[in-house]
């Protein structure tokens, strides 16, 4: 069988992570935990997703959960035991197992504060492995995500090594290296119950006082992945490595970048009911004009199909390059441009964009909250989308924009570099406009190059629109790469 499938039976993969759409989602991790298992299921895998049973999961999902059973599990250094309940639900063929414990998951949001979250995710990592043994469902590969599940590879090779689940191999994916689960050595020792020899510099230890959960997981995982090939290289440098660059460089032989995809059933311009006019490649050029008109009318912009509409859908933070946009905004605004901003974040950026909206009436709309329907309408109605991030492990907005025929203007970092090929004015090749160094003047230059092509060579611009819509941004390609990786682990 091809690309990592076992020859005699379906590959069995367990996903372990702290959030998953549609049950609970705070960021891109939730999207991946939803979409990748579905893609692997279509490739013939048996898949389970294991996550906490948070109180804040909507009741409509809790009502569909079935009780699988419970057991007691020891956890801490002094041998305290905790209840582990297992609730189960099946959605679109994927089995979801929810670890139930009211003491850890029955209050607040998924992430509260690091002091409270450390015990919560120590418990969850160990309980997830114990639940697999309890259910007698032993995977070939356990794929865990970010620091909240980083203890899974450590437990797997230590306390669970002689249990049935110990036969599984582990993959740990880095979605956001900025958050690592750092706490005092004594705090982590107590809540994990792990032996002292793990608390050295090769595994958990950061300094004489602190331990790092993510660091330990990276040391013990059989493979490490992150969400783009470029980001895999970047995190081995001082600037992007968040203090773990040397550790990651040491483990570079097991580190691989695999770009995320998007759910092409949700993000489908042909079937999207939130659009004024649905469309495919065959009628995109005309339909995007209709969607632009509807967007302008909804947001109080001057209705003119010849305006160059630039969208920004983002958290309003420094990481997303908002300082660059703020620096060039006034210079960028000429009579041919309209700008639509959707998002919330740092108050100084919220206030700045509100000011620009009042200063450029009919040209700028700052929608300072999140609105799902408006996001879809911006993807369909804008001509270009700005993603000038300081760093971007993968990025999804540029993939969605291309799916809708909206041309991305991005900085060459992380997944943005891996998915957006710069337009070449001599050959006409490329699918977006890019700049390399993190400088406002280079962002302005990229906007001006895009604007020039839009007005002066519409034929080439339209060719990029159609080329972007034809680009495969689905999870299927990424799923094939993960299947190959899993197959290499199983031999």
The share of the chain scoring above pLDDT 90, in percent, equals 93
Each residue's pLDDT tens digit, 75-104: 999 999 999 999 999 999 999 999 999 999
CA distance 403 to 262: 9
Taking alpha carbons only, the member of 367, 242, 276 closest to residue 314 is 367
* Predicted local confidence at residue 4, as pLDDT: 44
CA distance 275 to 256: 37
- Could you count the other beta carbons within 10 Å of the beta carbon of residue 348? 13
What's the mean pLDDT in 11-31?
93
Going from N- to C-terminal start, the domains of the chain cover 12-261+476-490, 281-472
DSSP letter at 421 equals P
Q: DSSP for 378-404?
A: HHHH-SEEEE--S--SS-SHHHHHHHT
CA distance 431 to 457: 15
Three-state SS string across 307-325, please? CEEEEEECCECHHHCHHHH
Per-residue pLDDT at 490 exceeds 90: no
The answer to whether domain 281-472 has CATH 3.30.565.10 is no
138's torsion region: left (phi>0), alpha (psi -120 to 50) or beta? beta
CA distance 249 to 236: 5
281-472 shares the fold of 12-261+476-490: yes
C-alpha torsion sign, points 119, 35, 129, 153: negative
Each residue's pLDDT tens digit, 230-240: 999 999 999 99
Query: How many distinct helices (H) and strands (E) make up the chain?
Result: 18, 17
Each residue's pLDDT tens digit, 316-352: 999 999 999 999 999 999 999 999 999 999 999 999 9
Taking alpha carbons only, the member of 428, 429, 398 closest to residue 412 is 398
Strand order in the sheet with 141-145: 66-74, 81-91, 94-100, 46-52, 12-16, 141-145, 169-174, 223-226, 255-257
Per-residue pLDDT at 28 exceeds 90: no
- What's the mean per-residue pLDDT of the chain? 95
The answer to whether domain 12-261+476-490 has CATH 3.40.50.2000 is yes
* Predicted local confidence at residue 431, as pLDDT: 96
What global pTM score does this model have? 0.91
Per-residue pLDDT at 7 exceeds 60: no
């Amino acid at each position: 069988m091809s690309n990592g499938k076992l020859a005699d039976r379906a590959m069995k993969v367990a996903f372990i992570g702290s959030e998953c759409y549609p049950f609970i989602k705070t960021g891109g991790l939730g999207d991946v935990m939803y979409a990748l298992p579905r893609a692997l299921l279509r490739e013939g895998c048996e898949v389970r997703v294991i996550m906490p049973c948070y109180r804040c999961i909507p009741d409509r999902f809790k009502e569909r959960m079935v009780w699988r059973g419970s057991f007691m599990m020891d956890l801490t250094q002094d041998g305290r035991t905790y209840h582990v309940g297992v609730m189960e639900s099946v959605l679109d063929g994927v089995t979801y197992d929810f670890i139930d414990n009211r003491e850890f998951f029955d209050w607040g949001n998924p992430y509260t504060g690091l002091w409270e979250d450390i015990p919560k995710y120590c418990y969850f990592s160990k309980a997830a492995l114990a639940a697999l043994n309890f259910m007698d469902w032993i995977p070939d590969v356990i794929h865990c995500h970010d620091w909240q599940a980083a203890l899974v590879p450590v437990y797997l090779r230590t306390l669970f090594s002689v249990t049935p689940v110990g036969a599984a191999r582990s993959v740990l994916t880095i979605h956001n290296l900025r958050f690592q689960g750092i706490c005092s050595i004594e705090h982590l020792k107590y809540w994990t119950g792990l032996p002292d020899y793990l608390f050295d510099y090769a595994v958990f230890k950061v300094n004489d006082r602190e331990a790092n959960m993510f660091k330990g997981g990276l040391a013990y995982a059989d493979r490490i992945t992150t969400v783009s090939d470029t980001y895999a290289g970047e995190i081995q440098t001082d600037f992007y490595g968040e203090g773990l660059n040397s550790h990651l460089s040491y483990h570079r032989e097991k580190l691989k970048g695999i770009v995320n995809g998007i759910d092409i059933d949700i993000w489908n311009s042909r079937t999207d009911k939130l659009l004024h006019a649905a469309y495919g490649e065959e009628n995109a050029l005309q339909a995007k004009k209709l969607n632009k008109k509807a967007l302008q009318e909804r947001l109080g912009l001057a209705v003119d199909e010849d305006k160059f509409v630039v969208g920004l859908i983002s958290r309003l933070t420094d990481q997303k390059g908002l300082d660059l946009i703020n620096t060039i905004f006034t210079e960028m605004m000429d009579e041919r441009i309209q700008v639509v901003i959707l998002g919330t974040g740092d108050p100084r950026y919220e206030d700045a964009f509100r000011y620009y909206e009042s200063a450029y009436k009919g040209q700028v709309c700052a929608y300072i909250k999140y609105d799902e329907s408006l996001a879809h309408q911006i993807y369909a109605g804008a001509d270009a989308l700005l993603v000038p991030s300081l760093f971007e492990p993968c990025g999804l907005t540029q993939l969605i924009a291309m799916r809708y025929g909206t041309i991305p203007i991005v900085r060459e970092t992380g997944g943005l570099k891996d998915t957006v090929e710069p337009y070449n004015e001599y050959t006409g090749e490329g699918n977006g406009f890019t700049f390399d160094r993190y400088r406002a003047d280079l962002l302005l230059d990229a906007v001006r190059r895009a604007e020039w092509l839009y007005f002066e060579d519409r034929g080439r611009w339209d060719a990029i629109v159609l080329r972007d819509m034809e680009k495969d941004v689905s999870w299927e390609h990424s799923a094939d790469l993960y299947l190959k990786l899993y197959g290499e682990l199983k031999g």
